[in-house]
Chain A
Amino acid sequence: MHNYAHNTVGDWGIIRASENASFWNPYHPLLLLHAGGHGNGNTRYEIHQTGTTNVGMRVCMTGASSGSACGTVDRVDEAVTSDDGVTTRGTARVHGFCGSPGDSGGPTFSYNIGYGLVVAVRDVPFQGCRVYYSGIHGAANNMNVYINCRNARVPQPTACNA
């Protein structure tokens, strides 16, 4: 693990991937969309640009544990405190599906626009599930990296937030 954050700013980190890791190709950044209630699966879902979250938006998530699901943003700029007492500020809250341990770091997106990274899940009786994610721009700035976008109409991936 290189630079990382697990604090009020966010919950993310930079990892080293071996050169021959099959899942990693910075020149062909694609997102895995599992089939489900939201529609068909797509192993080559493209992120054309990044965006900022607003209340009422419909967003989808792909998590390592839960697969893909979609819901509606009901709060932004939300501070979420997990049971270890660590508070992450500036998150967006989504209702409409349940996340699971292992979904952290999963992308949130819709209409080929990337919005953020999953950081926490909430499950309360009679209130239902909530999933919290941090904005992609804040994460990129905090880690001092840029996000690669991919559009099949453009020969090479380009920085989304250049």
Chain B
Amino acid sequence: VRDQASFAKLWTATGLELPPEVDFGHKAVMAVGLGESSTCPYEFGSLVPNEDAGTLVLHLKRSYGTCRADFSFRTFVILVDAQELPTLPFSLVLAHEPRRNHEVLELNWDNDLE
């Protein structure tokens, strides 16, 4: 999202109250919802834009080990520098580790972050 009103709407939709003020003149906010094991949660790794490829790669990490195979919803809300985002439209590549062949997803946004 790229304005405070949309951000407030997103923030409250997740069940939270009072969204923080964001300088949308220079920043944008991304919300990425996914599912994870409740006992092996993901951690934020990095967010790497690639203007040439038209992609934004979000790396998520979790530890190796034994995990409950449940599916717990999780949303990462990420503050990014607006000028670092690739030109729209771009693809969000979700790369999470441990890597397996089905664990890279590509989401195509056709016109806007919303």
Mark the stretch among A16-24, A47-55, A120-128, A136-144 that contacts chain B.
Answer: A120-128
Interface extent on A, as a size class? Answer: 20 to 34
With a cutoff of 8 Å between Cβ atoms, the chain A residues found around residue B70 in the complex are 11, 101-102, 104
- Asked, given contacts A101-B71, A101-B72, A102-B70, whether A122 binds B36 with beta carbons under 8 Å apart, the answer is no
Q: Give 8 new A-B contacts, CB below 8 A, not counting A101-B68, A104-B69, A124-B64.
A: A65-B35, A65-B71, A83-B39, A83-B67, A99-B69, A101-B35, A102-B35, A121-B66
B65 at the interface (CB under 8 A from A): yes
B98 at the interface (CB under 8 A from A): yes
Q: Mark B35-49, 1 if CB is under 8 A from A, else 0.
A: 111111000000000
Q: B68 contacts A82, CB within 8 Å?
A: yes
- Chain A interface, >50% SS class: loop
A156 at the interface (CB under 8 A from B): no
Residue of A100, A104, A118, A122 touching B66 (CB-CB under 8 A): A122
- Min Cβ gap A122→B in Å is 4
With a cutoff of 8 Å between Cβ atoms, the chain A residues found around residue B40 in the complex are 82-83, 101
Residue of B36, B69, B98 touching A119 (CB-CB under 8 A): B69
Residue of B65, B66, B67, B69 touching A63 (CB-CB under 8 A): B69
How many angstroms between the C-alpha atoms of A118 and B70 in the bound complex? 9
With a cutoff of 8 Å between Cβ atoms, the chain A residues found around residue B72 in the complex are 101
- Min Cβ gap B38→A in Å is 7
How many angstroms between the C-alpha atoms of A65 and B72 in the bound complex? 12
How many angstroms between the C-alpha atoms of A101 and B70 in the bound complex? 5
- Min Cβ gap B65→A in Å is 6
A33 at the interface (CB under 8 A from B): no
Contact residues of A with B, CB < 8 Å? 11, 63-66, 80-84, 86, 98-104, 106, 118-125, 131-132
- Min Cβ gap B45→A in Å is 17
With a cutoff of 8 Å between Cβ atoms, the chain A residues found around residue B69 in the complex are 63, 99-104, 106, 118-121, 131
Q: B68 contacts A104, CB within 8 Å?
A: yes
Q: A81 contacts B71, CB within 8 Å?
A: no
Q: B67 contacts A80, CB within 8 Å?
A: no
How many angstroms between the C-alpha atoms of A98 and B98 in the bound complex? 11
With a cutoff of 8 Å between Cβ atoms, the chain B residues found around residue A104 in the complex are 68-71
